[in-house]
Every structure is written in structure tokens, then in C-alpha cells.
């Protein structure tokens, strides 16, 4: 292997991101599209870049990701988690900065299932006494 390549997986809601990190120029490719073309707004692009900013690694790595499941917010969260885990694999000294800012924690909040006899997960049908 000519260049060092780190593989990591990130998850959020029902989205799963497989991330490949290699030394490069700062290019981020998601499902064979540029990050600006894939994510609809700059807030999500900034959210994905948080691990790189926290470890002062902007422009040092090329990131290639395959993301499946979920919507754009869940997918960007999964990508952020995957990038953070890959940066820790690359250099263990990144662990404290990423852990203190909460980027290594898997956000376990998922949609609650629909219960039988109810219109939603928590909502109940209107009660009628008569």
C-alpha cells in the first residue's frame, strides 16, 4: 500500500457512513459526489467539517464516504462520527479533543416505533366517555 488509508464507520439515526481517510488536499466525496453537491446547505457542510476543525486537520486529508439510509441530517451526522473515528485511528492524540467536544459518541436517538392501537408512537386516539 503506497499511501496510508484509514477506514472507519459512523452511524446516526438509521444512516450508516463508511469513511476512507487518506492524506491529501482536503477533498470530501460522498457517494461519488462532491460534498457541496451532495449536502443541500452550508450548515451541514460545516457540521461535517467539525472534527477536522477541532483537530486542525483541514486540507490535510481526502475523505471518501459511502452513506446509506436516513435523510440528509442523519447522513451528515453519520459522516461526522465516521470522520472523527478515522482521525482517532490516524493519530491517538486527537482522541481528547474529539471526545471533549462529543464527536466520538454515537448519537443513539432513533425514531420510536408505532405502538398497536395508537395513531403514533406516543399519541393516543381521543377518549370518549359516552
Q: Which domains does the chain have, with CATH numbers?
A: 6-100 (3.30.230.10)
pTM: 0.90
DSSP, collapsed to helix, strand or coil, labels residue 96 as helix
pLDDT-based confidence at residue 73 (cuts at 50, 70, 90): very high
Whether the CA torsion 42, 44, 50, 52 is positive or negative: it is negative
DSSP secondary-structure letter at 123? -
Q: What is the pLDDT of residues 76-104, one digit of tens each?
A: 999 999 999 999 999 999 999 999 999 99
Residue 93: what pLDDT?
A: 94
Q: How far is CA 94 from CA 37, 90, 109, in A?
A: 29, 8, 25
Kindly state the cell numbers that stand for 78.
Answer: 453519520
H-type alpha helices, the chain: 35-38, 42-54, 72-90, 95-100
Amino acid at each position: 500500500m503506497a499511501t496510508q488509508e484509514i477506514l472507519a464507520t459512523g452511524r446516526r439515526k438509521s444512516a450508516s457512513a463508511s469513511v476512507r481517510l487518506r492524506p491529501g488536499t482536503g477533498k470530501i466525496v460522498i457517494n461519488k459526489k462532491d460534498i457541496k453537491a451532495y449536502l443541500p446547505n452550508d450548515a451541514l457542510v460545516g457540521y461535517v467539517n467539525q472534527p477536522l476543525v477541532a483537530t486542525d486537520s483541514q486540507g490535510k486529508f481526502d475523505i471518501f464516504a459511502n452513506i446509506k439510509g436516513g435523510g440528509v441530517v442523519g447522513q451528515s451526522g453519520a459522516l461526522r462520527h465516521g470522520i472523527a473515528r478515522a482521525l482517532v485511528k490516524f493519530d491517538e492524540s486527537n482522541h481528547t479533543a474529539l471526545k471533549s467536544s462529543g464527536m466520538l459518541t454515537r448519537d443513539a436517538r432513533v425514531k420510536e416505533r408505532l405502538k398497536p392501537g395508537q395513531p403514533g408512537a406516543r399519541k393516543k386516539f381521543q377518549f370518549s366517555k359516552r
